[in-house]
């Protein structure tokens, strides 16, 4: 009798091979990258058990470790401002905030600063800063107009020198700690004392003073690109870190760390079992100026500086993480996982910030496609952001109307502090935070 393999047509064979390859890749990803359960990342949809326990998608925001140049953070800030504008328009709420539509944020470097700003809790219990205010913070720090918006001599660059400008972080965050955020927050750095990455986590901070850090110190740690490490201590003083920038490690793109955190943290995300339970928006940094126009450039006459080497390395690692995550999402990539990335940097000649931001949002990034390598996206960065805004609003409405079990149970700050030295400050954190933070309108005057 003629075997099935002999009778199968070439297209059928190709489909079988592709299906088998996808299953093998999913299994490897589930065990070695994310560790989600004992099977594949993707569970079989439509089963009765899943339909009964379906709590919707956990919404994750991940922002890359942007560097010391203004264009690195401008794309992220502009994309978040556009996202917030879309959310306000679709919900008819003129005061909607980005953090109200995400269940977790992860950010490294300047991305960590932006994530901390957006998720910082204000005196009314809502997010303290809007995305537009975060964009204004970046815009007010990019240098004098006559030197161009991308000047590396501006205050934005100073923030990343010698472990960050603590005065800037003090004005923005006051004495707020990781506990003073409206949702889980992850911010990585590299601990030179242990020669390993360290992740600042709100979930850990709620459990113990030994893992609760002031947000100004968290931002200084993740932005530290100077020659000397930044010494950071926890609120109770028991945990000390010699911090270097997250960009020197694989944490420069925190999307994988955020996904792993959700799939393993069953206390806060009890129903998240695979990537089909997630909605991830990953925002990359601006492209390197040296490779911005794709044209042939003359051979450099000097050796690259350590900072330039670190930046190129970080960009390469971020791309590798993006490709790995995109492959893990498989055919759901593009709907459950959306990557926004500038393909080239705008010119550094004097240029209005809004014009530069609009130019990067109008670009089409290079994205990974399962079994088809990498290709130029069919959608611009702006179109991707608008599509994510629509999905976030749908998820918000679904939760509001659905009687099913919740998919997010964020830990409340109810655990007693372990150190008596900080017990008195725990109840007044919000009040102190509000009193020590400036009005965002005053940022432009502090150049």
Task: Tell whether 296 is covered by a domain.
Answer: no
SS3 per residue for the chain? CCCHHHHCCHHHHHHHHHHHHHHHHHHHHHHHHHCCCCCCCCCCCCCHHHHHHCCCCEEEEEEEEECCCHHHHHHHHHHHHHHHHHHHHHHCCCCCCHHHHCCEEEEEEHHHHHHHHHHEECCCCCECCCHHHHHHHHHCCCCCHHHCCCCCCCHHHHHCHHHCCHHHHHHHHCCCECCCECCCEEEEEEECCCCEEEEEEHHHHHHCHHHCCEHHHHHHHHCCCCCCCEEEECCCCCCEEEEECHHHCHHHCCHHHHHHHHHHCCCCCCCCCCHHHEEEEEECCCCCHHHCCCCCCCCCCCCCCHHHHHHHHHHHHHHHHHHHHHHHHHHHECCCEEEECCCCCCCCCCCCHHHHHHHHHCCCCEEEECCCEEEECCCCHHHHHHHHHHHHHHHHHHHHHCCCCCCCCCCCCCCCCCCHHHHHHHCCHHHHHHHHCCCHHHHHHCC
How many domains is the chain partitioned into structurally? 1
Task: Tell whether 270 is covered by a domain.
Answer: yes
Task: Tell whether 108 is covered by a domain.
Answer: yes
Write the CATH number for 282. Answer: 3.40.1090.10
Task: Tell whether 81 is covered by a domain.
Answer: yes
Task: Tell whether 416 is covered by a domain.
Answer: no
Q: State residue 22's pLDDT score.
A: 59
Task: Tell whether 297 is covered by a domain.
Answer: no
Print the domain residue range for 356. Answer: 58-143+251-288+307-401
Q: State residue 366's pLDDT score.
A: 80
Task: Tell whether 194 is covered by a domain.
Answer: no
Q: How would you write the pLDDT of the chain (447 residues) with one tens digit per residue?
A: 444 444 445 555 455 555 655 565 555 555 445 544 433 344 444 434 444 445 689 999 999 986 555 566 888 999 999 999 999 999 999 999 999 999 999 999 889 999 999 999 999 999 999 999 999 888 876 654 434 444 444 555 566 554 455 788 888 999 999 999 999 999 998 888 888 889 999 999 999 889 999 999 999 888 876 667 889 999 999 999 998 775 555 567 899 999 999 999 988 998 888 888 999 999 987 654 444 444 444 445 567 665 565 666 667 677 788 888 888 888 788 889 999 988 766 555 545 777 878 888 998 888 777 666 778 888 999 999 999 999 999 999 888 887 666 678 887 775 444 433 333 333 333 333 333 455 555 555 444
Task: Tell whether 188 is covered by a domain.
Answer: no
């Amino acid at each position: 009798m003629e075997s099935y393999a002999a009778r199968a047509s070439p297209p059928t064979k190709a489909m079988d091979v592709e299906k088998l390859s996808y299953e093998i890749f999913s299994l490897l990803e589930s065990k070695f990258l994310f560790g989600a359960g004992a099977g594949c990342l993707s569970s079989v949809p439509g089963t009765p058990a899943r339909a009964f326990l379906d709590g919707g998608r956990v919404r994750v925001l991940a922002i890359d470790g942007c560097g010391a140049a203004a264009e690195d953070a401008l794309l992220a800030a502009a994309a978040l401002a556009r996202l917030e504008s879309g959310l306000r328009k679709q919900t008819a709420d003129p005061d909607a905030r980005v953090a109200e539509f995400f269940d977790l944020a992860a950010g490294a470097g300047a991305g960590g600063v932006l994530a901390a700003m957006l998720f910082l809790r204000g005196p009314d219990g809502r997010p303290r800063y809007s995305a537009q205010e975060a964009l204004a913070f970046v815009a007010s720090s990019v240098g004098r107009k006559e030197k161009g918006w991308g000047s590396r001599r501006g205050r934005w660059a100073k923030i990343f020198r010698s472990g960050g400008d603590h005065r800037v972080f003090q004005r923005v965050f006051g004495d707020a700690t990781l506990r003073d955020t409206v949702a889980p927050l992850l911010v990585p750095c590299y601990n030179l004392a242990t020669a390993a990455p360290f992740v600042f986590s709100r979930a850990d901070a709620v459990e113990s003073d030994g893992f609760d850090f002031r947000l100004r110190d968290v931002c200084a740690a993740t932005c530290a690109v100077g020659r000397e490490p930044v010494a950071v201590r926890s609120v109770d003083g028991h945990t000390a870190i010699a911090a270097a920038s997250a960009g020197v490690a694989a944490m420069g793109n925190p999307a994988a760390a955020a996904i792993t955190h959700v799939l393993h943290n069953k206390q806060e995300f009890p129903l998240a079992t695979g990537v089909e339970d997630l909605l991830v928006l990953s925002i990359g940094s601006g492209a390197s100026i040296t490779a911005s126009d794709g044209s042939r450039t003359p051979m450099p006459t000097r050796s690259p500086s350590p900072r330039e080497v670190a930046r190129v390395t970080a960009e390469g690692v971020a791309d590798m993480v993006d490709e790995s995550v995109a492959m893990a999402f498989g055919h759901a990539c593009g709907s459950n996982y959306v990557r926004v990335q500038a393909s080239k940097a705008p010119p550094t000649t004097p240029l209005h910030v809004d014009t530069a931001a609009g130019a990067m949002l109008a670009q089409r990034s290079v994205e990974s496609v399962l079994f088809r390598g990498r290709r130029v996206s069919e959608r611009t960065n702006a179109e991707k952001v608008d599509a994510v805004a629509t999905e976030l609003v749908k998820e918000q409405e679904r939760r509001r109307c659905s009687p099913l079990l919740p998919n997010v149970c964020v830990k409340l700050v109810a655990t007693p502090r372990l150190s008596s030295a900080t017990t008195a400050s725990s109840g007044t954190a919000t009040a102190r935070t509000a009193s020590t933070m400036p009005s965002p309108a005053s940022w432009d005057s502090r150049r």
